[in-house]
Amino acid sequence: LRRTSVQDLLRSTDLDREVLVKGWVRTRRGNKYVQFIAVNDGSGFNSIQVVANAEQFPEEKLKADGVDNGAAVAVRGKLVASQGKGQSVEIQAEEITVYGTADQDAYPLQKKGHTLEFLRGIAHLRPRTNTFGAVLRIRHAMSFAVHKYFNDHGYFYIHTPIITGSDAEGAGQMFRVTTLSDTKPPLDEAGAVDYSQDFFGKATNLTVSGQLEGEVAAMALGKVYTFGPTFRAENSNTARHLAEFWMIEPEVAFFDLQDNMDLAEDFLKSLVRYALEHCPDDLQFLNDHYDKELLNRLQFVVENDFKRLTYTEAVEILKGAKQKFEFPVDWGTDLQSEHERYLVEKHFKKPVILTNYPKDIKAFYMKLDEDGRTVRAMDVLFPGIGEIIGGSQREDDLQKLQQRMQEMHVPEEDLWWYLDTRRFGSAPHAGFGLGFERLILFITGMANIRDVIPFPRFPKSAEF
């Protein structure tokens, strides 16, 4: 007798046959005549109900064997139509084997609901809860949907380095990489760490973005994307920032800013649509337990066009707003999340794409506009999230790019290889970065980014 997954059994119409499931007990309840054991194997949101007749399985025996919340079990029995409501099939138990018990006094996941904050402290056990099971299955579905979208549209997946000598964003928020040795790090004559002696022969850091390498690939393969971990050593303790997060970065040759916006909008809508189609049980649970507007909001994003306007137009709107902001708005300053959320949630009441930001608040690689003051940047802002995507058309003119690098103190010798793409066969191109965890925040309706990644990395998180 081979094991069947709980989800396959719940969908099965082939009844009155012998089946075997293996999973973990979620609850056991009942009386002296019959006991009901909910078994979940992670294959989907719903558990299967196991009915244990008291003649064969008296409550005292189940208890003594440890058939309780958290125990790992195998159940052999007959799959039958269920009399109870809430499920169409159940298993009449014939044999219950316990692999591992969970001491009810010590097991942290009690039957009562736990706060998300409490669960953050036991990140190794929280995948066993309904909430994190749902989030992790949705996270998987979204990873798959990302690859599917790009594959269906003729893009190539490029693996970009994690250890790199360059700072793609020029923002200096990097984690330094050094080799550990049993001697002290080699010092130069001035007493500074001598990186030329290090493994890579120069100072290296964990990547903040795969974009620059993505651009290199786009200049050969045309349409590419990256999807990998990125690192930011910013000391932000917010519900939207992680020190280690995953980013998806498409980069496309011969794309301008318009094409880039069209791609971002179509891509986001297609990901949300995929979730609605493939994760109905998990989304319904999150909708019912955390955020009653979740499904409506997801549907709205799929069905409505995003609002597109320039940074300059947005600043005018914000200056005219009745709402008092904590940070004042002035042309040339970066927008704070309170401003972004005002535009999305109060003013337009839909996703917004802001373009053409002042050059001084954006990265060196963005293409300069004709006015010489703004660049072809775009940020996609989402309800409840703020910035979900940041991107731009890239500067493809060698001289202009070199000048921007000088102005912004980006060392040319670190990026000679990047500049070569502008020296040899340079072409217009554009791309963007989607923060994967911010996408998952939006799709699950969770409020804190630490709750949408299995092991969140943030300042002082060193538990795992």
Closest distance to Mg ion from the beta carbon of 438 (Å): 11
Least separation in angstroms between residue 248's CB and ligand 4AD is 9
In three-state secondary structure terms, 254 is coil
Is residue 383 at the binding interface for ligand 4AD, with CB under 6 A as the rule? no
Nearest approach in angstroms of CB 146 to ligand 4AD is 14
Contact predicate 164/418, CB 8 Å: no
Going residue by residue from 131 to 170, which x/- string records binding to ligand 4AD, judged by CB under 6 A? -------------------------------------xx-
The rounded distance, in Å, linking the Cα atoms of 143 and 279 is 13
**Shortest distance, position 390 Cβ to ligand 4AD, whole Å:** 3
As measured in angstroms, the least distance from the Cβ of 436 to ligand 4AD is 8
Q: Which does 96 bind (CB under 5 to 8 A by kind): Mg ion, ligand 4AD, none?
A: none
Please report, for residues 161, 237, 318, 450, 462, the alpha-carbon distance to residue 459 in angstroms, rounded to integers and kept in the order given: 24, 7, 33, 12, 8
The H or E element containing residue 138 is: helix 130-152
Q: Which residue is it, tokens 């909430």?
A: 131
Binding flag, residue 214, Mg ion (CB under 5 A)? no
Place of tokens 């169409």: 88
Q: Among the candidate windows 288-296, 319-327, 387-395, 398-406, which touches Mg ion by CB under 5 A?
A: 387-395
Token pair in block for residue 326: 């904590």
Q: Which is nearer to ligand 4AD, 47 or 393 (CB)?
A: 393
Number of residues engaging Mg ion in binding (CB under 5 A): 1
Name which position in 390, 435, 445, 456 contacts Mg ion (CB under 5 A).
Answer: 390
> H or E element: which one contains 65?
helix 59-65
Least gap, CB of 437 to ligand 4AD (angstroms): 5
Per residue in 341-374, is it b (16+ CB within 10 Å) or e — as a string? bbbbbebbebbbbbbbbbbeebbbbbbbbeeeeb
Residue 211 binds to ligand 4AD (criterion: CB under 6 A): yes
Task: Identify which of 426, 393, 396 has the alpha carbon closest to the alpha carbon of residue 263.
Answer: 393
Q: Does 248 bind ligand 4AD (CB under 6 A)?
A: no
Q: Which two tokens stand for residue 74?
A: 């195998």
Residues that bind ligand 4AD (CB under 6 A): 168-169, 209, 211, 232, 234, 241-242, 245, 247, 249, 387-392, 431-433, 435, 437-438
Binding site for Mg ion (CB under 5 A): 390
